[in-house]
Amino acid sequence: ELAAVIGATVPTGFEQTAAEEVQEKLGSASRISRDRGKIYFEVPARSLPQVHRLRSVDNLFVVVREFKDYQFKENKEDALKDLEDLVKKLPWTDPLQVWELNNSLKKKKTKRKKHNLQSPASREKPSDGGEEAGADQNNTNDQEDCAQTPVSVEPTGDQDTENAQGVTPRNGVEEEEEEEDKEQSDVKGGAQERSESGAKAGEGHTGEGEAKVLRFRVTCNRAGDKHSFTSNEAARDFGGAVQEHFQWKADMTNFDVEVLLNIHNNEVVVGIALTEESLHRRNITHFGPTTLRSTLAYGMLRLCDPQPTDIIVDPMCGTGAIPIEGAAEWPFCYHIAGDNNPQAVKRAANNVSSLLRKYESKDSSSALGVPLDIIQWDICNLPLRTGSVDVVVTDMPFGKRIGSKKKNWDLYPACLMEMGRICTPGTGRAVLLTQDKKCFAKALSRVGHIWRRAQTVWVNVGGLHAAVYLLRRTWERAEETRPFW
Amino acid sequence: MKLLTHNLLSSHVPGLRPGGGFPLKIELGHPSELPPEPLPDYEANEEFLRRLHHVLLEVEVLEGSLQCPDSGRRFPISRGVPNMLLTEEEA
């Protein structure tokens, strides 16, 4: 039976969460790679549809070969020659079969409305009017796992550093946003042009009519300070050898096969991509300036450990990424989303409608309401009864993207107090994402009688180093004149 | 807005008596399909539970308002979304 070793990229910090989801839904154990943001697991190839339905995964690829401790030659020419020579020795057959199977799955999927995504293949998707900011944000997220630097540094544990962009190493790999540092490379068309009839190795055959020559490109991600070559060079030379070996045609934008060459210090993984657009924007059709990716929303929700009948509230919901993911994955909980911004409320409502339409078309049986409501409100003075909510989960405003640092100084303590009031003493919990870690820590120190910090997950959001805090509500009842639950 | 959400809401107009502001009055002439009181053994009554589930989770107020029982302040509901923002003067 055809088996596949699948590599999955996940939001950094949520590798364990993703591994749990894989165990739960596929029954497979995962290996968490030292290359942060990636997990590996083995499944029978027929499980591919379920693999695609994982909610904690951004991108998928099938592993051709993994080298745990690859010895790179010191000399650049030698090192690159080794990579070239590697191509013909790799076990391509099974992974390519998996890739073919995956292709047939993609064709079966009904045409969905294309969201405004920009994949590394630089394909232009139709953009939704004035939502360019959202598209840019998404583009940044897509490039995240391709960005790298020549230097790999261990996390310093210094959590108070602001201005983290490209400076504070957090996950062992610095991530920079400047275009020139992005080392994602593609193979340019080779000097030799092969004719269409020269297809070899049978992978290009569609089975009907003429043999079709496959188009491919190589994407190389490289991180580490001991390599004598750049990812550009590796992609170029590796790609040259791939072209030679398969007689495929190199094409940067319209490719059938995307070969991945991931180099993280001495860990080398060769893979073939199974997703062409990141899954992380799947629920959202109406973007806002800071829309959270669904995979991150899913990870945060899992951290809350939602139980059936839990009331889960996102009091600063923006376009609704978190409650929408919540309602989709935890339909036996009840989700309430709120925001003070009328634009955000409108977008969230539209996203919920889109979701409803999606489910309606799939299953036109009884009109099952989505367990989700939206309210326009002020986080500092919530119209909710004291102690009526089990879980508070939200993306707190970042000084850099919405609001300001000074505003956060006043906002954060007020938020934490009000969230503490509405949350059930003892069993309640909060999962809060923020980039303003200094402000958050200070605010938290003032509400120690209501909230205790249980866990911290370091994450990366659009290039900014952020943290997700899991807090537990103490048993102390809120001093209140408001009606209790 | 669903009925289950309404169950969690209370008025936050300043200056209310302790414990005041709940429940908000839903203004909308919608006849209830439920009996005025739960029947004995309602947990086992499938038909009742079905109707209850329907009313709590599947009926939405799209247009109307919520009225604070103590201050009389009305919060509008538009396109299914209640606007519970207080004005600058109120807050």
pLDDT tops 60 at residue A119: no
Nearest to A376 among B2, B4, B82 (CB): B82
Q: Which residue of A has its CA nearest to B83?
A: A376
Please state at what angle helix A405-422 crosses helix A437-446, rounded to 10 degrees. 40
Instruction: Report how far residue A249's alpha carbon sits from residue A194's, in angstroms, rounded to the nearest whole number.
Output: 8
Place of tokens 């060769």: A270
Give the per-residue pLDDT at A369. 73
Closest CA to A167 of A177, A180, A376, B66: A177
Q: Which residue has the higher pLDDT, A465 or A142?
A: A465
The percentage of chain A sitting over the pLDDT mark of 70, rounded to a whole number, equals 71
Q: Which residue of B has its CA nearest to A480?
A: B18
Encoded tokens for B34: 């439920």
Closest CA to A279 of A86, A462, A142: A142
Kindly state the average pLDDT of the residues A210-225. 88
Chain A residues touching residue B4 (CB < 8 angstroms): 334, 373
pLDDT tops 90 at residue A403: no
Give which of A379, A482, A484, A485 to mutate to test B binding, by max B Cβ within 10 Å. Answer: A482
Give which of A340, A347, A380, A381 to mutate to test B binding, by max B Cβ within 10 Å. Answer: A381
Annotated domain spans of chain B: 3-27+39-82
Give the per-residue pLDDT at A48. 95
pLDDT tops 60 at residue A246: yes
For chain A, the domain total comes to 2
Q: Which of A322-326, A355-359, B22-26, B83-87 has the lowest mean pLDDT?
A: A355-359
Q: A166 lies in a domain?
A: no
Give the per-residue pLDDT at A340. 93
Q: Which residue of B has its CA nearest to A379?
A: B85
> Is B3-27+39-82 assigned to CATH 1.10.10.410?
no
What are the backbone angles phi and psi of residue A252, rounded to the nearest 5°?
A: -70, -30
Q: What is the mean pLDDT of chain A?
A: 78
* Same domain? A400 vs A343: yes
Beta-ladder partners of A337? A314, A374
Q: Which of A47-61, A73-87, A162-176, A291-305 has the lowest mean pLDDT?
A: A162-176
**Residue A331 sits at the chain B interface (C-beta within 8 Å):** no
Q: Which amino acid is at A485?
A: W
Per DSSP bridges, beta strands A267-273 and B81-82 are unpaired
**Do residues A375 and B1 make contact, with C-beta atoms less than 8 angstroms apart?**
yes
Q: What is the pLDDT of residues A86-105, one digit of tens each?
A: 999 999 999 999 999 999 98
| A266 three-class SS | coil
* Same domain? A376 vs A253: no
Give the per-residue pLDDT at A174. 28
Give the per-residue pLDDT at A32. 92
**Do residues A443 and A413 make contact, with C-beta atoms less than 8 angstroms apart?**
yes
**What was the ipTM of the complex prediction?**
0.88
Give the per-residue pLDDT at B36. 62
Q: Which residues of A311-425 form beta strands (DSSP E)?
A: 311-314, 334-339, 372-376, 391-395
Give the per-residue pLDDT at B62. 87
pLDDT tops 50 at residue A114: no
H or E segment and range at residue A431: strand A429-434
Residue A26: CATH number of its domain: 3.30.2130.30
pLDDT band at A362 (very low <50, low <70, confident <90, very high): low
Residue A396: CATH number of its domain: 3.40.50.150
DSSP letter at B34 equals S
Asked if A349's CB is within 8 angstroms of B16's CB, the reply is: no
pLDDT tops 70 at residue A40: yes
Instruction: Report how far residue A323's alpha carbon sits from residue A331's, in angstroms, rounded to the nearest whole number.
Output: 11
Give the per-residue pLDDT at A463. 77
Give the per-residue pLDDT at A291. 77
- How remote is the C-alpha of A161 from its chain's centroid? 24
pLDDT band at A360 (very low <50, low <70, confident <90, very high): low
Nearest to B19 among A369, A382, A483 (CB): A483
Closest CA to A46 of A82, A15, A4: A4
Q: Which residue of A has its CA nearest to B59?
A: A369
Give the per-residue pLDDT at A116. 33
* Same domain? A223 vs A336: no
Give the per-residue pLDDT at A34. 79
**Do residues A87 and A246 make contact, with C-beta atoms less than 8 angstroms apart?**
no
- How remote is the C-alpha of A247 from its chain's centroid? 34
Chain B residues touching residue A377 (CB < 8 angstroms): 84-85
pLDDT tops 50 at residue A84: yes
* Same domain? A266 vs A412: no
pLDDT band at A207 (very low <50, low <70, confident <90, very high): very low
Closest CA to A259 of A195, A196, A203: A203
Instruction: Report how far residue A213's alpha carbon sits from residue A176's, in angstroms, rounded to the nearest whole number.
Output: 37
* Same domain? A421 vs A301: yes
* Same domain? A434 vs A333: yes
Instruction: Report how far residue A302's alpha carbon sits from residue A56's, in angstroms, rounded to the nearest whole number.
Output: 10
pLDDT band at B42 (very low <50, low <70, confident <90, very high): confident
- How remote is the C-alpha of A91 from its chain's centroid? 29
**Do residues A220 and A261 make contact, with C-beta atoms less than 8 angstroms apart?**
yes
Give the per-residue pLDDT at A361. 57
Q: A188 lies in a domain?
A: no
* Same domain? A266 vs A391: no
Kindly state the average pLDDT of the residues A365-394. 88
Q: Which domain holds residue A241?
A: 3-107+214-273
Q: Which of A29-33, A311-315, A351-355, A419-423 has the lowest mean pLDDT?
A: A351-355
Instruction: Report how far residue B25's alpha carbon sits from residue B82's, in angstroms, rounded to the nearest whole number.
Output: 13
* Same domain? A227 vs A318: no
Give which of B4, B5, B25 to mutate to test A binding, by max A Cβ within 10 Å. Answer: B5
Instruction: Report how far residue A15's alpha carbon sits from residue A187's, in angstroms, rounded to the nearest whole number.
Output: 30
H or E segment and range at residue B4: helix B3-8
* Same domain? A17 vs A103: yes
Q: What is the pLDDT of residues B43-67, one digit of tens each?
A: 788 888 888 888 888 888 888 999 9
Asked if B8's CB is within 8 angstroms of A384's CB, the reply is: yes
Asked if B80's CB is within 8 angstroms of A383's CB, the reply is: no
**Do residues A19 and A178 make contact, with C-beta atoms less than 8 angstroms apart?**
no
Instruction: Report how far residue A168's alpha carbon sits from residue A156's, in angstroms, rounded to the nearest whole number.
Output: 8
* Same domain? A220 vs A97: yes
